[in-house]
Amino acid sequence: MHYEAAIDLQKQLAFITALLSGFSITFVIGLLQMEAKDKIRTINICLISGVFSACCLILSTIASMSGAFWMTERPHLYELKSTITNPEVNYAFDWAAISFVLGLIALLISIGFSGRLHSKRIGRLTLAFSLVTIILIFFFWTFLVPVN
């Protein structure tokens, strides 16, 4: 990966994960304030997956920003037009990508189960939409993203 593209990708990933982690934290706070005593199991599933999602997305933000900081401290790589082969940056990028996908899947699980708080019918629809989205994420991750 070239230097310019790597910095831009790290910055965009950091922005997206920070935005999604904020959404996930807001979602968890909303669930904590809810007082549905009859659906405590569904609320627990949503809370656990929401908190896991927020933690993974915050980890992804930190990892992608550390990779971006590492690259911006080395402007000579830009002048050489070289590719990034340092293991530190590759580990930061790998951690950011893996925790992003885990956080996104956990967020989709909590959104999928949150529909059951309204009714069984809405719960089935939101869970079906979430499962289709997770399947598509795995499809794109395995077949369209080249892994070295």
Q: Is 34 left (phi over 0), alpha (psi -120 to 50) or beta?
A: beta
pLDDT in tens, 128-141: 999 999 998 888 87
pLDDT in tens, 95-141: 888 888 889 899 999 988 888 888 889 989 999 999 999 998 888 87
Q: Which 3 state secondary structure label does DSSP give 83? A: strand
Distance CA 148, CA 136 (A): 21
* Dihedral pair phi/psi, residue 86, rounded to 5°: -75, 135
Rg (CA), the chain: 18
Whole-structure pTM value: 0.77
CB 64 within 8 A of CB 96: yes
* Dihedral pair phi/psi, residue 2, rounded to 5°: -75, 160
Say whether pLDDT at 86 is over 70: no
The pLDDT score that the predictor gives to residue 129 is 93
Average pLDDT over residues 22-51: 84
Say whether pLDDT at 146 is over 90: no
